[in-house]
Amino acid sequence: MAILGLLNQAPMHGYELRKRVLVLLGGFRALSYGSLYPALKRMRENGWICVPDPADATRVLPADAPPLTGKRGKVVYALTAEGKERFQDLLTEGGPEAWEDERFGVRFAFFAQTEADVRLRILEGRRRRVEERRDGLRASLGRTRERLDRYTLELQQHGLDSVDREVRWLSELIDHERVDGTQIDRKKNNPPASTS
């Protein structure tokens, strides 16, 4: 999704993509080349992305052509129509896939392009998820507080504080969304315009 979303903003080559993904996800850790390039290959085989001919932008290089052995240059990728469609589909998903830890970050990074109702659904789902974790942690901490050594206690407490903070953050975002949402709802009586 990160790749599709970035290519949706502008065509670019793999190396550039890698740096952008890194920033997008908060500089936590870069995608390795051994992961990035095969992914691009697969996406190309799936027809989601293509390599426009630099000499003639109306033409697209065939999917199996350009090893360009010996002299490799930059390979600029662009989204195809299917790729855009696929990205739009991902943008519409509002189920658990969108709020579990692995994807929430990427999902959130493209919130500006996500419909208001989907945003709200994801934020609420995420909050429920994090609240569950918080309650579990709180319960376990309450049960075992006496038996734990200083460090384990410290670790669990810090973990609890962290999820607590995340819940508050999400709640603020949700409140904000609700305010914006009602404002918009009052303005438009027609279905949400698909601003593609």
Partner DNA sequence: TTCGTCATGTAATGGGTTACATGATTAC
Partner DNA sequence: GTAATCATGTAACCCATTACATGACGAA
Helix (H) or strand (E) holding 51: strand 49-52
Helix (H) or strand (E) holding 79: strand 76-79
Of the candidate residues 37, 88, 93, 103, the single one contacting DNA (CB under 7 A): 37
Residues 6+ apart with CB under 8 A from 49: 3, 4, 7, 40, 43, 77, 78, 79, 80, 83
Convert residues 142-171 into a mask of x (bound to its own copies by CB under 8 A) and - (unbound): --x----xxxx-xxx-xx-xx--x---x--
- Position 106 contacts DNA (CB under 7 A): no
Choice between 44 and 127, CB closer to its own copies: 127
Q: The sheet that has 49-52: what strands, in order across it?
A: 12-13, 76-79, 49-52, 60-61
Give me the residues that bind its own copies (CB under 8 A), please: 23-24, 26-28, 105, 108-109, 111-112, 133, 136-137, 140, 144, 149-152, 154-156, 158-159, 161-162, 165, 169, 173
Interacting residue ranges for DNA, rule: CB under 7 A: 13-16, 29-35, 37-41, 66-68, 70-76
